[in-house]
Homo-oligomer: A and B are copies of this chain.
Amino acid sequence: MREYYTITELTREFEISTRTLRFYEDEGLIQPVRRGRTRLFRPSDRHLVKQIMRGKRLGFSISEIREIIQMYREPPGEVGQLKLMIKRIEEKRGDLRQKRRDLEETLAELDQAEESCVERLVELGVNT
């Protein structure tokens, strides 16, 4: 496991710009350490970026991603906070389960669409 990654290493790995990484820092999603003014990304920062990209692909907004990231952190010490956290996690899971249903339905419809196309090709006498 590497000690640190530079900003450009991460931009290459995740195919995003430096602007984007700095934007995520401004938004409080990541807090790379500094040597002088230069950002140094630890493995944990890199992992956060991975989680952010996942969230993006799933259509979550920055603030939703921020919420999710907070859920991955150490559980709070106070009972009320803990219960609230659990409630929030449950809500997000509800979100995700809805997305899963949407996903399966869409995949099923695309399967159907593809089959229609293939059938049509067969009708036209094309060797598949």
A residues touching B (Cβ–Cβ < 8 Å)? Answer: 51, 54-60, 68, 71-72, 74-75, 77, 79, 82-83, 85-86, 89-90, 92-93, 96-100, 102-103, 105-107, 109-111, 113-114, 116-121, 124, 126
Q: Which partner residue on chain B sits nearest A78 by CB separation?
A: B124
Q: Which partner residue on chain B sits nearest A124 by CB separation?
A: B79
What is the distance, in angstroms, from A65's C-beta to the closest C-beta of chain B? 10
Which residues of B sit under 8 angstroms from A102, Cβ to Cβ? 54, 57-58
Determine which of B54, B74, B120 lies in contact with A106 in the assembled complex, contact meaning CB atoms within 8 Å.
B54
A111 to B93, CA, bound (A): 9
Do residues B106 and A55 form an inter-chain contact, with CB atoms below 8 A?
A: yes
A89-B113 contact, Cβ under 8 Å, with A59-B60, A98-B57:
yes
Do residues A121 and B82 form an inter-chain contact, with CB atoms below 8 A?
A: yes
A60 to B102, CA, bound (A): 12
A75 to B110, CA, bound (A): 12
Q: Which partner residue on chain B sits nearest A96 by CB separation?
A: B107
Known: A55-B106, A100-B100. 15 other contacts (CB 8 A): A51-B106, A56-B59, A57-B59, A57-B98, A57-B99, A58-B103, A58-B106, A74-B116, A86-B121, A89-B113, A89-B114, A93-B107, A97-B107, A99-B103, A100-B103
